Amino acid sequence: MALLSPAITVSVACGVLVLYVISRLLRGKGYRRPLPPGPKGLPVLGNINDLPKPGELECHHWLKHKDLYGPISSVTVLGQTMVIMNDPGIAFDLLRDRSAIYSSRPSQIFGGEIVGWDNSTAMSPYSEIWKMHRKNITKVASTNTSVTMFNRVQEAESAHFLLNLLDSPSDLFGHIRKEAGSVILKITYGYTTESHGRDPFVDLANAAVAGFSEAVVPGKWLVDTIPFLRYLPDGFPGTAFKKTGRQMAATLNQCVEQPYEFVKQQMREERHKISFLSQAIEHIGSDKEMEFVHKWSALSLFTGGADTTVISLMVFFLAMSVFPEVQKNAEEELDRVIGSHRLPVSEDPLRLWAYLTLARQRTPTEATESPKAA
C-alpha cells in the first residue's frame, strides 16, 4: 500500500483539527454547571498557558492559585477541566467524607485505555468491578495472618536494607526502592527478592510505576483531548504517542502476568508461600472473572505500595538529615527502650512506636521542637 503524500497527510490532519475545533465550540454552547474560579482562558485552548512550566514544581505552581482564586479553583485545557484543592479540610470533606460521590476516576484514553491502567484499582471507575477489587483486597489483606506476616517481612527486609546501606551508603535511594519493593513483593506474591544487587521484579515494578507517572499526566497526551487520533494510522501527525503507548503497555502486561504466573507455578508445585495472591486464589477462587480481578488487585497492591513507601521513606530520611536533633532524640529513645544489641520489632513496647510515629509526623513542619517521649 502506497504511503500518502506529505501534502495529503497535512490536509487530512488540518481537516480533522478543524472538525474538532468546531465540535468543541458547539459543545461549549450547551449548558454547563459553574466551575470554581480560575484564570480566564483562550478560545479552544483554554488555560494552556496557565500550566506549570518545564522544571517548575507543580505543588508550588498550584499553590499560587490559593492566593489568587481561593482554596478551590479550576483550569480547563483543551476541554479538560482540572479542579485544584489547596485546603486539606475541603479535600477530606470531598474525597473522604463524600467518597460515594467523588470516588470515581476520570477516564483517560492514553494512560487508561491504550496503556491499560484503567484495569487497576486506582484507575478503575466506581463500578462493580472496582467493588470486587476492594472486597478482594480487604478480605485477604485485613486478616490477622496478613498483619503478622507483614510485620515479619518488614523486620527481615529492614535488616537487609541496613546491611546494604552499610555496604554502599552512597546508594541510599536505590536501597530504599529495593527494600520497599522487597516488602510488597513478599506480601503480595510470596516472592523473595535477591539479597544483594538488583532484582528483576523490583526493576519491573519501578519501570511500570515510572510509566504510570508519565502516562496519566493531565494534558500531556494529545489523544486524551482528541480521542479519534488513536484511530489514525502510525505516521500521521499527532500519532507519535502510539509507539510510546505500546511500549508502556508491554511493560505493564509483564508486571501483571509474570508475578501472577510465578504464584500459580508455586501453587501447582505446592511450595508457595502465604501471600495476598495465594490466599485470594485459595479462598475466593480463580475462575476467569476472578482471575482477572486477582491479577489487577495484586498489581495495584504491588505497584501502589512500592511507590508510596519509597516516597515516604525518602522524605523521612531527608527530614532526619535536615533536623538532626529529632534524629538524635529518636536514637536515644531506641537505645533506652531496647538497647543497642538488636533492631526494634513489632512486639516492642507501644510507647516506643508512639514516640517514633510522633517523630515522623512532626517533621519537617514542627522540626524546631523535639517530640517528647509518649
- Band (pLDDT 50/70/90 cuts) for residue 261 is very high
| Pair 349, 293 in one domain | no
Tell me, what's the pLDDT at 346?
75
High-pLDDT (> 70) share of the chain, %: 82
The mean pLDDT value for 293-314 works out to 84
Q: Does residue 195 fall inside a structural domain?
A: yes
83 forms beta bridges with 74
| Pair 169, 310 in one domain | yes
Tell me, what's the pLDDT at 244?
95
Q: Does residue 79 fall inside a structural domain?
A: yes
Q: Does residue 248 fall inside a structural domain?
A: yes
| Pair 165, 255 in one domain | yes
- Band (pLDDT 50/70/90 cuts) for residue 85 is very high
71-98 residues labelled b (16+ CB within 10 A) or e (exposed): ebbbbbbbbebbebbbeeeeeeebeeee
- Band (pLDDT 50/70/90 cuts) for residue 331 is confident
Q: Does residue 11 fall inside a structural domain?
A: no
- Quickly tell me which residue has 500550566 as its cell: 51
Chain centroid offset of residue 2 CA: 43
Nearest to 15 by CA among 237, 242, 243, 223: 237
| Pair 140, 252 in one domain | yes
| Pair 302, 182 in one domain | yes
CA dist., res. 274 & res. 39, Å (int): 53
Look up the domain containing 58 and give its range: 35-103
The mean pLDDT value for 125-150 works out to 75
Q: Which stretches of the chain are assigned E, i.e. beta strand?
A: 72-77, 80-85
Tell me, what's the pLDDT at 67?
92
The mean pLDDT value for 285-313 works out to 83
- Band (pLDDT 50/70/90 cuts) for residue 365 is very low
pLDDT in tens, 86-109: 999 999 999 888 877 887 777 789
Is the pLDDT at 154 greater than 90, yes or no? no
- Band (pLDDT 50/70/90 cuts) for residue 352 is low
CA distances (Å), 78 to each of 30, 55, 82, 331, in order? 16, 22, 11, 53
Q: What secondary structure letter does DSSP report for 42?
A: B
Q: Which stretches of 185-265 are assigned E, i.e. beta strand?
A: none
pLDDT in tens, 202-254: 888 889 988 998 998 877 888 887 888 888 888 888 889 999 999 999 999 99
The C-alpha cell that represents 160 in the structure block: 537487609
Tell me, what's the pLDDT at 21?
60
Neighbours of 359 (CB within 10 A): 21
Tell me, what's the pLDDT at 1?
42
Q: Does residue 121 fall inside a structural domain?
A: no
- Quickly tell me which residue has 500519532 as its cell: 239
| Pair 202, 251 in one domain | yes
pLDDT in tens, 38-83: 999 988 788 989 988 888 888 899 999 999 999 999 998 877 788 9
pTM: 0.72
| Pair 272, 251 in one domain | yes
The C-alpha cell that represents 124 in the structure block: 478503575
| Pair 288, 349 in one domain | no
Report whether 109 contacts 78 (CB < 8 A): no
Q: What does pLDDT average to over the chain?
A: 81
High-pLDDT (> 90) share of the chain, %: 22
Angle at 177 between CA 174 and CA 180, to 5 degrees: 145
Q: Does residue 118 fall inside a structural domain?
A: no
| Pair 164, 250 in one domain | yes
Report whether 128 contacts 306 (CB < 8 A): no
Q: Does residue 152 fall inside a structural domain?
A: yes
pLDDT in tens, 183-214: 888 888 989 887 777 888 888 888 998 899 89
Q: Does residue 75 fall inside a structural domain?
A: yes
Farthest-apart Cα atoms in the chain, separation: 79
| Pair 333, 306 in one domain | no
| Pair 293, 353 in one domain | no
Report whether 205 contacts 302 (CB < 8 A): yes
| Pair 41, 189 in one domain | no
Please identify, among 322, 343, 366, the residue that sits at the C-terminal boundary of a domain. Answer: 322
Nearest to 87 by CA among 123, 125, 36: 36
